[in-house]
Structure 1
Amino acid sequence: MTRSNVPIVANRWLLRRVARPVGTLLGVIVVGIAGFVHLGGVSTVEAAFWLLDPSSIELYYQTASGPVDRVKTFAIVVRVALVGAMVWTGETALTATFGGQIQEELRRVRNQRERASTSDHIIICGYGMFGRTVAERSRERGREVVVIERNDAQYNRVLDADVLGVEGDARREGDLRDAGVERADVLVAAIDDSNVNIQIALLATQLAPDLTVVVRVGDETYESVARHAGADEVIIPEVAGGELVSEQW
C-alpha cells in the first residue's frame, strides 16, 4: 500500500463506521418531515421548518386549525429521536477518528513502563524471521524479551505480539539503553546485515561488558570480525540449518 493511499483507505473506513448512525439520523429526518406533512397537512418546506424549530408549530396553530396535540406529541418524539441520532453519530465519528490513536498511545505507554522495570532479559535487535523466531522460542521458555526494531510495520508487529519493544536503531546508544542493555542477560543481533550486527555488538559490549552477545552473520568471512567486536557466539543461519538437516538425515 503506498503512503498516498493511506488517507483514502482511512476515510473509507471512517465512512463505514459512521454509515449506520448517519443513516439513522437521515431516517429520523425523513420520517419527521413526512409525519408533519401527514398530520399537519402542511407543505414539505413547512414540515422541515417545524423539524428545525418546533416552536413554530405553536405559532402556526394560532391562525390555523388542526390536530394540535397530536402534532406536538409527534414533534416531541421526533425531537428526542433526532437528538439521540445526532449524539450517536457524533460519538461514533469521534471514537472512529481518535479511539484507535488513544489505544495506541496507551499501549506504547504501558510498553515503556514495563520495559523500564525489566531485568535479566533478552534483547533482540531486529524482528525479521530470525529475530521473531528467537523471540518466540525465548518466550516459550519463560524468558522476558525486548525487541529493538526501526521499521514501523515490523515494530507494530512487535506490539501486536504483546512483546516489549523499542522503536529505534540498535546501533544508537540511547536505544540500547532504552532496551535496558545494562540490565539484560543476553543480546541477539538478528538483523539481516552482518555489518550492522557487528556494529551493534561493538557498542553493546562497551555499554555492558558482562552481557552475552550473539551475532548473526551472513557467512563465515564475518565470523572472526564479529568475535573481535565482542560476540560470544556467532550464528550463520544457513550453516546452522545445514548442520541440523545433516544430523537428522
Structure 2
Amino acid sequence: MSALPHRLQIGLGILVAVAILGTVGFMAIEDMNFIDGLYMTVITVSTVGFAEVGGPLSTSGRLLAMALIVIGAGALLYTAGLAFEFSVETLLMGRREAKRLHARIDELEDHIIICGFGRVGRDVWENLHDGAADVLVVEAREEVVAEALELGALAMVGDATHDEALVAAGIERAKTLICAVRSDSENLVIALSGRALRSDIFIIARALETEAEKKLYLAGADRVVAPQVVGAQRIAALAIEPDVAEFIDFVVSGRLVEMRIEEMDVTAESALAGRSLRELDLRSKSGALVLAVVRENGRMSFNPDPSEPIRAGHAIVAIGDSDQLDRLRAIAEVASAYPQS
C-alpha cells in the first residue's frame, strides 16, 4: 500500500480541522447539539444548501457559515483533486509494476517456482533467494503477495492449482517446482498439473499427513518432504549424535560459510565422463571432496568406489569451499578444462 502524499495529508487535516471548528462554532453560537452542529458544518462545506437547523441563522452564525464555505469548500476541492491525482498515479504505477513483473518473469530461465508463501514457503524462499538460481513465488492471496514483494521476493498472484498460473510462472522454462501450499489436496493437484505440463521438471512436494506422501509420488512428485517426519528424524539424530547432526545442519543451511555441498551434472563432453575418481584425482586438483555419485536411475552411491568410472548422465555430489567447488566445476564442465598431470 502506497503512503499518502504529504500534500494530500495536509488537505485531509484541514478538512478535519474545519469539521471540528465548524461543529464547535455552531454549537456555541446557535446553541445546537453536536449532531446538528456537525450537520450544519457538512451541508455548508459541501454547499448542498439544505434547510438550516432551527430556523434562520444569527448574524454570527452566517459569518461562520461564510467562513466555512470559503475555507472548507476550497479545502474540499483541493483535497478531492489531490485524491484523484493520487488514485490515477497509483493505478498507472500498479500497471507499470505489473508490466515490469511480467517482463521479469518472461526473462526467467532455469528458475525455481515456489507455490505458496505460508510458513514453509517463506522459509524455503529465505534459504533460496540468495543462491545462484532465480526464485519465483506463486501465491493466491494478494495481501501475502504484497508481503512477499516487500521482502524482496519476485512474486505473482495466482492459484497454482490452475494450469494457467503455472504457465504464467514460466513452468516450461523452470528447473524445479516446489509445492508448499497448506493443503495436501492442493499440493497433489499442483504436482499433477506440473507433471502434465512438464514431464522433465523436478518436483518437490510438502506433505502434512503421512498418508499423502504416496499419493504425491503417484501424482508426479520426485521428492516429498513431511516437515513433522523430518523434525522427528532430526531430534533423534541430535539425541544420538549431536555433534554430527549439528555439523550437517551447518553445512546444509550455509551457516558454515566456508563449506558448501553441491551437485554437478556429468555430460558427455565433461572431462569426468569415462574416468574413475582414482584416475581423475579430483581431491588434489580441485581441493573438493566427492561424497557421492548419483546414477542415471537416481540411485546415490555414497563413498563411491574410486576405481569405478563415472558415466555421462551421472552427477557428483561434492563438498568444499567456494573456490574448491569452482575449480571442480571448471573441470567437470568441458573436457578441455581438465588439468593434465
TM-score by length of 2: 0.48
Question: 2:11 aligned with 1:18, yes or no?
Answer: yes
Aligned residues: 194
**1:97 Cα deviation from its structure 2 partner:** 3.2
Question: 2:212 aligned with 1:219, yes or no?
Answer: no
Query: Which residue does 1:121 correspond to in 2?
Result: 111
Query: Do the aligned partners of 1:147 and 1:166 also contact (CA within 8 Å) in 2?
Result: yes
Query: Which residue does 2:185 correspond to in 1?
Result: 195
Pair 146,139 (structure 1): closer, same or farther in 2 beyond 3 Å: same
Matched ranges for 1:132-171 at <5 A? 132-171=122-161
Query: Do the aligned partners of 1:216 and 1:234 also contact (CA within 8 Å) in 2?
Result: yes
Query: Which residue does 1:111 correspond to in 2?
Result: 101
Output the CA distance in 2 between the equivalents of 1:230 and 1:151.
26
Superimposed CA distance per residue, residues 8-52 of structure 1 (whole angstroms, 9 cap, x where no aligned partner) = xxxxxx984522566899xxxxxxxxxxxxxxxxxx99xxx9xxx
SS in 2 for 1:140: coil
Question: 2:231 aligned with 1:238, yes or no?
Answer: no
SS in 2 for 1:213: strand
**1:95 Cα deviation from its structure 2 partner:** 3.9
Query: Do the aligned partners of 1:17 and 1:96 also contact (CA within 8 Å) in 2?
Result: no
Pair 246,103 (structure 1): closer, same or farther in 2 beyond 3 Å: farther
Q: CA RMSD for the aligned pairs?
A: 3.6
Query: Do the aligned partners of 1:124 and 1:148 also contact (CA within 8 Å) in 2?
Result: yes
**1:86 Cα deviation from its structure 2 partner:** 9.2
Output the CA distance in 2 between the equivalents of 1:91 and 1:104.
20
Output the CA distance in 1 between the equivalents of 2:87 and 2:196.
45
Question: 2:59 aligned with 1:92, yes or no?
Answer: no
Superimposed CA distance per residue, residues 54-113 of structure 1 (whole angstroms, 9 cap, x where no aligned partner) = xxxxxxxxxxxxxxxxxxxxxxxxxxxxxx989964653334433333333322221111
The equivalent position to 2:174 in structure 1, one of 178, 184, 190, is 184
Query: Do the aligned partners of 1:17 and 1:93 also contact (CA within 8 Å) in 2?
Result: no
**1:167 Cα deviation from its structure 2 partner:** 1.5
SS in 2 for 1:214: strand
**1:218 Cα deviation from its structure 2 partner:** 1.1
Amino acid corresponding to residue 102 of structure 1 in structure 2: L
Gaps of 5+ in 1: 1-13, 26-43, 50-83
Output the CA distance in 2 between the equivalents of 1:90 and 1:24.
16
Amino acid corresponding to residue 12 of structure 2 in structure 1: A
SS in 1 for 2:152: coil
Larger deviation: 140-149 or 88-97?
Answer: 88-97
Query: Do the aligned partners of 2:114 and 2:180 also contact (CA within 8 Å) in 1?
Result: yes
Q: Determine which structure has greater relative contact order: mean sequence separation of CA pairs < 8 Å that are 6+ residues apart, divided by chain length.
A: 1
Pair 85,180 (structure 1): closer, same or farther in 2 beyond 3 Å: same
